[in-house]
Amino acid sequence: MLTRRIIPCLDVKAGRVVKGISFLNHRDAGDPVQLAAFYNESGADELVFYDITASSDERNIMVEVVENVARQVFIPLTVGGGIRTVDDMYRMLRAGADKVSINTAAVLNPQLIEDGAKRFGSQCIVLSMDARRINEPGQPSQWNVFTHTGRDPRPTGLDAIEWAKRVVDLGAGELVINSMDADGTGAGYDNELLSAISQQVGVPVIASGGAGKPEHLLAALHEGKADAVLAASIFHFGTYTVEAVKEYLTEQGIPMRRTPRPV
C-alpha cells in the first residue's frame, strides 16, 4: 500500500517565512534555513519552498536562499516562484532542488511544462495551482485558476479540473492543488476540489490550503483522495508537530513513511 506524505511549506517573502490568510496579512514565521533544518530533523517527508512574490514582482527567485535551504535538508525539496524558463529550472536544480514548481509561468506558456519534462523528466516538474470557487449557490461546483497570487491575484478563466488534465498531458509529474478560499483559514482543505481532480489525473495530487488540525489532513487523504498533504501554519507556529500528525494518521489506518534520519 502506498504511503502518504507530510510536506511542510515555506512561503518566503523578503527572505523570511510568512503565513497569511488567503494570501493577505502575512505573519512572520521565522528564518527559512533554520526552519528547513528543523523539519529535516522532525520527520517531514518532503519540503516545499515558495518565493511567493517572485512572479507578482516579476523578478527571479532568491537563489542564495534556496542554496542555503538545500544544504540543510536530506529530504526531497521542491522550489517554486519566479521560474519562467527551462534555464530557470536548471538553475534551481543546480542550487539543490529536487523538483521545480511552476504556476503563473505555466499558464502564460504551457509549452514550458513539456519542455521542462523533456529535459529533466516529469518527476521534476510540479504544477502548482491556485484555485477559487466561482459557482453560484445551487449550481454545479466550479473553480477558476488564478495567477500572480503573491500580491496581485489574477483570474485566468481556466477551469481547474480541465487545466489539471491538460498539464498532466503536457508532462507535469505532480500537482499541488491550493484552495484560495481555504488558504490560511485553518478550516480544512477543499476536499471536493481535490477529489474532482484526483479522479481525473494519473499523477500524485498534493492537498494545500486550509490545514488547521490533524483531522483535516485525514479528510484530505480520504475524502479528497490526495496522495500527500501540504501544511504551513500548524507546523510553523507549533500547534502540531510532524511526528504527532504522523502518529495520528497511522492510528487512523493511513500508511505513513518513516523518513530515515541523516547519519
Instruction: Tell me the catalytic residues.
Output: 11, 130
Residue 225 region by backbone torsions, left for phi larger than 0, else alpha for psi between -120 and 50, else beta: left
Q: Are strands 228-231 and 5-13 parallel, antiparallel or unpaired?
A: parallel
Strand partners, 19: 27
DSSP type of residue 175: E
Strand partners, 231: 8
Of residues 76, 67, 70, the one with CA closest to residue 37: 70
CA distances from 149 to 55, 166, 172 (A): 8, 21, 20
- Look up cell 494518521; give the residue: 249
Contact 172, 203 (CB under 8 A): yes
Contact 175, 203 (CB under 8 A): yes
- Which residue type, as a one-letter code, is found at position 130? D
